[in-house]
Amino acid sequence: MIAPPAPSSALRTPETPADPLAADKALRESEARFRSALNAGRLGSWETDYEQMSRTWSAEGMALFGLDLPNGRGQVGGVDDEYVNALHPEDRHLAQGFRALADKQDSFPAEYRIVRPDGTTLWLSGRGLVVERGADGRATRLVSIMADASDRKHADRQKDEFIATLAHELRNPLAPIRNAVNLLKQSGSADPRLMWCHDVIDRQARQMAHLLDDLLDVSRLSRHQLKLEVEPLLLSDVIRRAVEAAQPMIDAGRHTLTLNTLVEPLPLQGDLMRLAQVVSNVLVNAAKITPSKGRLTLTVERNARQAIVKVSDSGAGIAPKHLAQGFEGLDKVGSALNRAQGGHGIGLFLAKGLVELHGGTISARSQGEGQGSEFEIRLSLDSSAATEGPTDRMPPPAVPVDESFRVLIADDLRDIADSLALLLEDMGHEVHVAYDGEQALHMAEEWQPDVVLLDLGMPKMHGYDVCRNIRTAAWGHGMTLIAQTGWGQENDRRRTREAGFDHHVTKPVQIEDLVTLFRRRPQSA
């Protein structure tokens, strides 16, 4: 019979004394309550006995897996293990880790796919609960409680697809706005009102693009699909990039930012872009919740084997009961933290997730509402790295202003194509424009440009096929092909790599970053 989970302090071991009759009666009553709760919640359960190498299934558990076992008894291990055999091939490796988790934890979450005998695939979600340990502390009995999570997974996929589509649709209008703003800047107008308009539009367009990126990253983080590009780096590089990213929002609030950094280099192992995103998100949050002309301070400290980054502000402060809620992803802390300045909470939620992916922590402190706040990020130092050397990396070489390229832009949205063409022509490049895929392929063959910027969703022929056709032609081997699109999910990037693109950029792209890619041309075949 399947026993209810016991608290860790009450886990039964061979040494636990008990009155046999009273213990048996209590166990039967507890099991009855437990089974009633499972039935009410439509939960499947099964008990794994590692000493007997057997598994006992509840009726609901067998129904989930599509099993019909005499007395609900199955085996653990071997070719006839019904549980392992039902796991989806891509999730079968998880079975090996359940025992290891049970040896370390009394309770742990589990989520995986199974394939039923009729061929249908289900997502299951629930927990594993250790109810008995041996003298050596290893789990001897484990109860699993699971429910069909397929509908929720389907809803999550629909949500993710909606978010990706929304981001794509919003990026398209942002791209020509940013291009037009850059054209205004290059016009060299001395009219202060015009320059003020330029700065406002540029700042808000950058912020919108930043919010879209955060929204997509939160979606990836929630699905455990956000991957880190880990490499040796210095904390000073992280801080510099973060300040550069947050500076427009700091300037918009007319705040004063004070940097208190260390001279000594602090080596880390991490993703430079993601760690900079963490610090910039915290800085942006501080700028947003601080009234105009406030004071922001970024301090770097070292404590034994940790690097510590503190961001403090003179803003609205946070009530003690709301401190932990600032990282929950929604605006749950009222006007004291975000709402007064139009905050969204997404940035802090993402910062927490990214820090934890790096094995670090992030926390908030405040003396109360109206007394400012301080956010503290802790990251482990890389003990294997040398402690000598420069504190900053050399920046990548700038694109020479007198270097020009022959550029073909293909996009069915004329505002995007035409505004980018004007911007590149003002920078000294020779530009042709196509408004559909077939025209793009024809112009690429006739003109043979150095660089081709291709949208993916064009009429007549989409960008993937245009790229493939160019790559298979002898005249197209040496071209730099860049996918310039509103689609930025990992699956989209994988598809562009497979099609033969050299680079994948999401709209709106910084013109300086885009032109830098022009110089990274492949070797001619």
Q: What is the pLDDT of residues 163-179, one digit of tens each?
A: 777 777 888 888 888 88
Surface-to-core class of residue 212, CB atoms within 10 Å of its CB (0-12 exposed, 13-18 middle, 19+ buried): buried
Q: Which of 63-67, 179-183, 204-208, 491-495 has the lowest average pLDDT?
A: 204-208
Helical (H) or strand (E) element with 21? helix 20-40
The sign of the CA dihedral 214, 216, 219, 220 is: negative
Q: Which of 157-166, 186-195, 395-404, 458-467 has the lowest average pLDDT?
A: 395-404
Q: Which of 331-340, 433-442, 467-476, 510-519 has the lowest average pLDDT?
A: 331-340
Portion of the chain with pLDDT greater than 70, in percent: 82
Q: What pLDDT, on a 0 to 100 scale, did the predictor assign at position 390?
A: 41
Q: What is the DSSP string of 376-432?
A: EEEEE--TTS-S-S-SSPPPPPPPPTT---EEEEE-S-HHHHHHHHHHHHHTT-EEE
Spatial separation of the C-alpha atoms in residues 136 and 14, rounded to whole Å: 10
Q: What pLDDT, on a 0 to 100 scale, did the predictor assign at position 397?
A: 45
Domains along the sequence of the chain with CATH: 8-148 (3.30.450.20), 153-222 (1.10.287), 232-380 (3.30.565.10), 406-518 (3.40.50.2300)
Confidence of residue 438 (pLDDT cuts 50, 70, 90): very high
Q: What is the DSSP string of 263-308?
A: SS--EEEE-HHHHHHHHHHHHHHHHHHSPTT-EEEEEEEEETTEEE
Residue 314 has pLDDT above 80, yes or no: yes
Q: What pLDDT, on a 0 to 100 scale, did the predictor assign at position 91?
A: 87
Tokens 């080596």, residue?
A: 267
pLDDT tens-digit readout, 126-147: 888 999 999 998 999 999 989 9
CA 342 to chain CA mean position, Å: 23
Residue 274 CB neighbours (<10 A): 22
Q: What pLDDT, on a 0 to 100 scale, did the predictor assign at position 24?
A: 67
| Cβ(517)–Cβ(482) below 8 Å | yes
0.75 exceeded by pTM: no
**Rg over CA atoms, the chain:** 29
| Cβ(124)–Cβ(41) below 8 Å | no
Q: What pLDDT, on a 0 to 100 scale, did the predictor assign at position 388?
A: 43
Spatial separation of the C-alpha atoms in residues 419 and 433, rounded to whole Å: 11
| Cβ(257)–Cβ(296) below 8 Å | yes
| Cβ(129)–Cβ(143) below 8 Å | yes
CA 112 to chain CA mean position, Å: 20
Beta strands 139-148 and 231-234 are unpaired
